[in-house]
């Protein structure tokens, strides 16, 4: 096991070896990922949709938490790079049978895995795995607890760059359950690294963690204040289990205050784009007229997501051994 | 045997000595500090140049793993001795908890046999540390418990705490309490603040400590009970203790050694070696703790030694909150019956029941609780529970209900 003090994601040459979080990655690496994704974006329209970059490599999708969507896009991305893909749905109930997380990793490494794509309910779990794997193995975080969802963050950055070109003139609002959202954290780090001057976190105080300002965002508790003049609005999914209880009284009241409707959207710039990581709760965080409207870029996000994940897989696999 | 320890820096707070001096020992007793008594001729001389010569240290909290792990006491108490710690206060959160005179007698007997550091057991304040019924604290004191503790957090039920203080005051027994309000602490694994926000870790707010301190002090004013507060962690908490002492409340407190040196930033990339209870806080809190130690607000530093299996550190830093975990588990495993505890960290049992029933109306939920109040029963039924079972009757009631259902 490697020592704890080493950079968890970069190797000695400063190349991206694991993708665990957008935080602490240099701007040049983020830009390289976005540029690499450009080269994959048109691949989908070609007759032969794959390239042989990862031929002979084994990618294991290791999902300790269910997510058909993210897993599928990673699978498509890996297949288009000609990798051998193995999907393992290791839900909480089977790990409860006694095998520890690291035993599972040891077993799969013995099956000659080259790359693990990991989704886990605990913040930080991919770091534990990355510290444990052999030097040639790569770990990609596909979402860990509330901590990070870096490929989602990168596809959000790709989407923003596609529609807005220049990050350094933008105002971006992230709206909803920031407290529990790994998507929000990854977006915040991506935006601040790429030079967005104003990032706003918008939500009721029950869903905003303390100390958020220190991540470089402006906190707004009213939707109107948060989206006024914004170029980009990222709506977050409100999980079912948060809709009633001590954090929020009801989905209806949430929608009244934080749901994005066509009327409220008029407060943003006329060319503002609306994003959402999916799956959407129509009528809870977003009105259908907005979700399906002309300013929505929610479906292009999904398409870009495949190209961005291909770029990440291709880049990490080309890095030197982690030593 | 006659022993001379020469040239050391002698530090003894009790006699207010701090300076270079020689110490003379005859047959295990210190016979003089400074000049040798008349006719003393050392059979052995230790040169303590550059070293501190001090009385044995007393650690206010170190877990000896007994009862629970047989043989551990000998290892742990000798390890303490090797570190200059000659007295160890051990908390009652053993397996089983130290809530019976027989257990305490056995533990003390083993400690005598181990001949390591001297043991000062804390008795459990409540039976099984359950926070409901008082343990026989007067009898426990008689067999050697030095004080009585509720570990982890304050008892859930303030009336139990109030009565415990009254009862302890009757016999002038001190209580050792952790100032943690667990409904506010939940299952947090990091102090609330920028680090927890960044790492996405469930967090413990400052108020989990300050609300508990206010509760303790208010009940002290009502009862006059003597209280020692264990493991203070926040700047605001230190200030409250400072004011309570100024007011004249009979209170003392300690901090864990980690909180004197480490802060939340040390968690780094989810290093589980820094997952502590209470969690590490900010540099501002650490500075307040150091100031509190210097000005006497904080009376002691303890090791809070808790032997942890290396395997236990090989798990992710923080697990998801239990209420949400329960819902996810039900989603995946589709059970017929769920036994739900009301006192769940994070999302509480009633809230969890409500969500479970809205998503899985076919799953039966029985709420089990230590709380007998009728309004809870109504709330549980209203949330969708089909039964409400007091913990004390769980076996009997479960058999009765299940035989009726099958």
Distance from CA of B187 to the nearest CA of A (A): 13
Residue A93 has a pLDDT of 45
Which residues make Cβ contacts (< 8 Å) with residue A137, sequence separation at least 6? A109, A113, A114, A115, A116
Residue B313 has a pLDDT of 64
Residue A4 has a pLDDT of 47
Are the beta carbons of B186 and B201 closer than 8 angstroms? no
Q: Taking CA atoms, what residue in A is nearest to B202?
A: A146
Q: Cβ–Cβ contacts within 10 Å for residue B122, how many?
A: 27
Residue A188 has a pLDDT of 98
Q: Is the pLDDT of residue A55 over 70?
A: yes
Residue among B197, B269, B354 minimizing CB distance to A127? B269
Residue B255 corresponds to which tokens in the numbers above? 């901090």
Q: Kindly state whether A200 is in contact with chain B, defined as any CB-CB distance less than 8 angstroms.
A: no
Q: Is the pLDDT of residue B3 over 70?
A: yes
Higher pLDDT, B202 or B389: B202
Average pLDDT over chain A, rounded to an integer:
91
Residue A2 has a pLDDT of 43
Q: What is the pLDDT of residues B87-135, one digit of tens each?
A: 999 999 998 899 999 999 999 999 999 999 999 999 999 999 989 899 9
Q: What is the pLDDT of residues B356-383, one digit of tens each?
A: 887 788 888 888 776 555 666 777 788 8
Residue A1 has a pLDDT of 40
Residue B373 has a pLDDT of 54
Q: Cβ–Cβ contacts within 10 Å for residue B334, how many?
A: 10
Residue B307 has a pLDDT of 78
Q: At what angle do helices A182-193 and A27-41 cross, to 10 degrees?
A: 100
Which residues make Cβ contacts (< 8 Å) with residue A285, sequence separation at least 6? A175, A176, A235, A236, A237, A238, A254, A255, A258, A259, A260, A276
First to last CA, chain B: 77
3-state DSSP: chain A helix, strand, coil percent, rounded to 5?
40, 15, 40
Q: What is the pLDDT of residues B296-328, one digit of tens each?
A: 999 999 999 887 766 666 677 765 445 566 676
Q: Which residues of B touch A125 (CB under 8 A)?
A: 316
- Specify the length of chain B in residues: 406
Residue B347 has a pLDDT of 57
Q: Which of B241-250, B254-263, B303-312, B315-324 has the lowest mean pLDDT?
A: B315-324
Q: Is the pLDDT of residue B46 over 80?
A: yes
Q: Cβ–Cβ contacts within 10 Å for residue A82, how many?
A: 14
Residue among B193, B201, B314 minimizing CB distance to A123? B201
Alpha-carbon Rg for chain B, nearest whole angstrom, is 25
Residue A91 has a pLDDT of 63
Residue B323 has a pLDDT of 58
Parallel/antiparallel/unpaired status of strands B190-191 and A218-220 = unpaired
Are the beta carbons of A195 and A167 closer than 8 angstroms? yes
Arithmetic mean of pLDDT, A237-259: 88
Higher pLDDT, B403 or B321: B403
CB contact under 8 A, A211 and B194: yes
The label of the residue with tokens 């409220």 reads A264
Quickly list H helices, B50-199.
Answer: 72-82, 101-114, 137-142, 158-170, 182-185, 194-199
Q: Assign B390 a pLDDT band (cuts: 50, 70, 90).
A: confident
Is B304 catalytic? The answer is: yes
Strand, coil or helix: what is A93?
A: helix
Phi then psi dihedrals of residue A274, to 5 deg: -115, 125
Q: Kindly state whether B193 is in contact with chain A, defined as any CB-CB distance less than 8 angstroms.
A: yes
Q: Kindly state whether B191 is in contact with chain A, defined as any CB-CB distance less than 8 angstroms.
A: no
Residue B320 has a pLDDT of 43
Strand, coil or helix: what is B175?
A: strand
Residue B259 has a pLDDT of 96
Residue among B196, B268, B359 minimizing CB distance to A4? B268
Higher pLDDT, B327 or B258: B258
CB contact under 8 A, B317 and A4: no
Distance from CA of B395 to the nearest CA of A (A): 25
Give CA–CA dist A288/A295, Å, rounded: 12
Q: What is the pLDDT of residues B118-131, one digit of tens each?
A: 999 999 999 999 89
A248 half-sphere exposure, CB direction, 13 A CA radius: 25
Q: Kindly state whether B356 is in contact with chain A, defined as any CB-CB distance less than 8 angstroms.
A: no
Strand, coil or helix: what is A160?
A: helix
Residue among B203, B316, B355 minimizing CB distance to A241? B355
Q: Kindly state whether B351 is in contact with chain A, defined as any CB-CB distance less than 8 angstroms.
A: yes
The whole-angstrom distance between residue B342's C-alpha and the CA centroid of its chain comes to 23
Arithmetic mean of pLDDT, A271-293: 96
Residue A64 has a pLDDT of 86
Distances (CA, A) of B289 to B184, B208, B240: 22, 17, 12
Q: Which of A94-103, A168-177, A311-320, B152-161 has the lowest mean pLDDT?
A: A94-103
A224 half-sphere exposure, CB direction, 13 A CA radius: 3
Residue B339 has a pLDDT of 83
Q: Is the pLDDT of residue B293 over 90?
A: yes
Q: What is the pLDDT of residues B144-161, one digit of tens each?
A: 999 999 988 999 899 999
Residue B164 has a pLDDT of 97
Residue B265 corresponds to which tokens in the numbers above? 């930033």
From A114, A179, A186, select the one nearest A149 (Cα to Cα): A186
Q: Is the pLDDT of residue B218 over 50?
A: yes
Q: Which residues of B touch A185 (CB under 8 A)?
A: 198, 200
From A70, A154, A50, A186, select the one nearest A117 (Cα to Cα): A70
Are the beta carbons of A84 and A111 closer than 8 angstroms? no
Q: Kindly state whether B268 is in contact with chain A, defined as any CB-CB distance less than 8 angstroms.
A: yes
* Omega prior to B297 cis, within 30 of 0: no
Average pLDDT over chain B, rounded to an integer:
89
């Amino acid at each position: 096991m490697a020592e704890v003090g080493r950079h968890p994601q970069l190797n000695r040459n400063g190349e991206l070896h694991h993708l665990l979080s957008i935080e602490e990655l240099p701007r040049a690496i983020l830009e390289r990922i976005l540029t690499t994704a450009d080269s994959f974006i048109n691949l989908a329209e070609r007759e032969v949709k794959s390239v042989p970059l990862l031929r002979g490599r084994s990618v294991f999708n290791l999902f300790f938490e269910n997510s058909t969507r993210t897993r599928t896009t990673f699978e498509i991305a890996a297949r288009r790079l000609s990798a051998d893909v193995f999907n393992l749905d290791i839900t909480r109930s089977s790990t409860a049978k006694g095998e520890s997380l690291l035993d599972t990793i040891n077993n799969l490494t013995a099956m000659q895995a080259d790359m693990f794509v990991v989704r886990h309910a605990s913040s930080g779990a991919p770091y534990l795995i990355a510290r444990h794997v052999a030097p040639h193995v790569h770990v990609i975080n596909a979402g860990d607890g509330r901590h990070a969802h870096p490929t989602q963050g990168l596809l959000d950055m790709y989407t923003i760059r596609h529609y807005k070109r220049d990050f350094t003139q933008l105002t971006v609002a992230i709206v909803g359950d920031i407290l529990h959202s790994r998507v929000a954290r990854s977006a915040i780090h991506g935006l601040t690294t790429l030079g967005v001057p104003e990032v706003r976190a918008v939500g009721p105080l029950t869903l905003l963690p303390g100390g958020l300002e220190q991540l470089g965002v402006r906190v707004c508790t009213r939707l109107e204040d948060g989206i006024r003049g914004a170029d980009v609005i990222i709506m977050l999914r409100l999980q079912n289990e948060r809709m009633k209880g001590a954090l929020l009284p009801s989905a209806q009241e949430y929608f009244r205050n934080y749901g994005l409707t066509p009327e409220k959207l008029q407060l943003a710039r006329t060319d503002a784009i609306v994003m959402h990581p999916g799956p959407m709760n129509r009528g809870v965080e977003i009105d259908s007229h907005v979700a399906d409207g002309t300013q929505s870029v929610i479906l292009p996000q999904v398409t870009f997501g495949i190209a961005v994940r291909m770029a990440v897989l291709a880049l990490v696999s080309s890095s030197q051994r982690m030593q | 045997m006659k022993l001379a320890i020469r040239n050391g820096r002698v530090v003894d707070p009790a006699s207010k000595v701090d300076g270079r001096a020689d110490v003379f020992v005859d047959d295990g007793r210190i016979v003089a500090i400074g000049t040798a008594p008349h006719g003393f001729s050392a059979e052995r001389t230790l040169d303590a140049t550059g070293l501190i010569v001090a009385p044995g240290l007393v650690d206010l909290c170190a877990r000896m793993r007994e009862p629970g792990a047989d043989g551990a006491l000998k290892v742990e108490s000798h390890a303490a001795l090797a570190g200059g710690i000659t007295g160890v206060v051990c908390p009652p959160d053993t397996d089983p908890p130290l809530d019976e005179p027989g257990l305490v007698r056995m533990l003390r007997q083993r400690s005598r046999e181990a001949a390591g550091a001297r043991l000062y057991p804390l008795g459990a304040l409540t039976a099984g540390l359950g926070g409901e019924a008082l343990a026989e604290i007067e009898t426990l004191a008689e067999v050697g418990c030095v004080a009585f503790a509720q570990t982890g957090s304050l008892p859930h039920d303030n009336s139990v705490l109030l009565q415990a203080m009254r009862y302890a005051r009757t016999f002038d027994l001190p209580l050792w309490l952790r100032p943690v309000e667990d409904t506010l602490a939940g299952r947090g694994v990091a102090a609330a603040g920028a680090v927890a926000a960044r790492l996405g870790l469930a967090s413990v707010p400052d108020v989990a400590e300050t609300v508990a301190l206010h509760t303790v002090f208010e009940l002290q004013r009502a009862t006059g009970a003597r209280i020692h507060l264990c493991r203070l962690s926040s700047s605001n908490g230190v200030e409250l203790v400072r004011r309570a002492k100024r007011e004249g409340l009979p209170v003392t407190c300690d901090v864990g050694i980690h909180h004197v040196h480490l802060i939340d930033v040390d968690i780094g990339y989810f290093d589980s070696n820094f997952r502590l209870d209470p969690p590490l806080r900010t540099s501002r809190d650490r500075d307040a703790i150091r100031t509190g130690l210097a000005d006497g607000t904080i009376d002691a530093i303890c090791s809070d030694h808790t032997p942890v299996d290396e395997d236990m550190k090989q798990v992710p830093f923080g697990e998801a909150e239990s209420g949400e975990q329960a819902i996810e588990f039900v989603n995946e495993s589709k059970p017929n019956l769920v036994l739900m505890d009301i006192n769940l960290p994070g999302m509480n049992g009633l809230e969890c029941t409500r969500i479970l029933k809205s998503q899985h109306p076919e799953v039966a939920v029985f709420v089990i609780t230590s709380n007998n109040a009728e309004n809870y029963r109504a709330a549980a039924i209203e949330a969708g529970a089909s039964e409400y079972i007091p913990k004390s009757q769980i076996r009997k009631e479960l058999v009765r209900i299940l035989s009726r259902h099958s």
